[in-house]
Amino acid sequence: MLKVGVIGLGWMGRIHLRNYTEMPDVEVVGVVDPDEGARQAATESFGVAAYADLEELLRHKPDAVSVCVPTVLHREVALKVIAAGSNLLVEKPLAATAEEGHEVVEAARAAGLTLMVGHVERYNPAVQRVKELLSEEADDTISITIERVGPYPPRIQDVGVIKDLASHDLDLLRFLTGSEFKSIYAVTSTSLGKHEDTALITAQMENGVLANISTNWVTPYKSRKIQAACKSKYVEANLITQEVKEYSSFSSYDKSYSVREWPLVYREPVKEELKDFLGAVRAASQAPIRGEDGLAVLRAFDRIFECAC
């Protein structure tokens, strides 16, 4: 039985809490949020102790906690959790800056604790199938295009669309290609608030794969799609419906191509992510999505904002 806690009861924090309470080998020893209404709702819905102060939770010495606070607070909260000796999953992005992220990674390493970053899209069954298809032949992938758009989310106040939405896709590019960024550029615009709400990001990976990310908060509907052009095939995935299609290469002989729809069993990505996190905690092993993975995304942010206009 692992003792766990959740810090921050926003949208994602509540999802973490629900999933933890559904696990038979987990005891939720407490949750933390400054909002009294959020604490009361958590207690009423899940029967857990709720605290206004982080120190009250840490006194229970949880084996693991989920850090689901606003991005600007990730470093401060993560360092307190590490100092208390608890393993931690920090929601993406790892921190507000690469410098802060590096500090968190080094602190967890020095303490011998498991640190996982919540780049949950890696656990989407559609993403995992795309990864399998792209890994079938070496040097087969030519380019990857990702679309992640939707309406403006009032819950996000501290960062723009790049750190909120594109953080998923910067991580996915590293995951799907198994390569680091060789070059990366972006253009952005701001129309709804103080942060950028539209971004077009173009990159080339060190293994030669070209990439493009289109993300915004000005589209009236949510869309999450991946398209990968390969020498031997073309792969298309809808991350919301968890559907994947594989197109054969075009035949110049009969002017046609075949289409294969890959059946997938729907799974809740957050649940799979938390199972892996707790598995790593039990084994005292490295997390599947390491602090260094989160740090790579933060460093990509720096490169993007240097050139974005």
* Backbone φ and ψ of 19, nearest 5°: -65, -40
Query: Domain 124-267+299-307, what architecture?
Result: 2-Layer Sandwich (3.30)
Q: How far apart are CA 200 and CA 308, in angstroms?
A: 9
Q: Phi and psi dihedrals of 67, rounded to 5?
A: -100, 105
Q: List pLDDT tens digits, range 40-76.
A: 999 999 999 999 999 999 999 999 999 999 999 999 9
- 2-120+271-290 against 124-267+299-307: fold identical: no
C-beta separation of 209 from 195 below 8 A: no
Q: Can you give the pLDDT at residue 137?
A: 87
pLDDT at 308: 66
For 298, the token pair is 């933060």
Looking at residue 138, what is its pLDDT? 83
256 - beta bridge partners?
251
Q: What are phi and psi of 301, to 5 degrees?
A: -55, -50
SS3 letters across 148-164: EEEECCCCCCCCCHHHH
- C-alpha 278/C-alpha 281 separation (Å) is 5
pLDDT tens digits in sequence order for the chain, 309 residues long? 999 999 999 999 999 999 999 999 999 999 999 999 999 999 999 999 999 999 999 999 999 999 999 999 999 999 999 999 999 999 999 999 999 999 999 999 999 999 999 999 999 999 999 999 999 988 999 999 999 999 998 776 678 999 999 999 999 999 999 999 999 999 999 998 788 999 999 999 999 999 999 999 999 999 999 999 999 999 999 999 999 999 987 766 666 788 899 888 888 999 999 999 999 999 999 999 999 999 999 999 999 998 866
Task: Give the amino acid at 105.
Answer: V
The closest of 82, 16, 98 to 294, measured between CA atoms, is 98
Q: Give 26's strand partners.
A: 2
Task: Say whether 126 sits in a helix, a strand or coil.
Answer: helix
Predicted confidence at residue 154, as pLDDT, reads 77
Give the residue carrying structure tokens 């995304």: 297
| CATH architecture type of domain 2-120+271-290 | 3-Layer(aba) Sandwich (3.40)
Domain boundaries, the chain: 2-120+271-290, 124-267+299-307
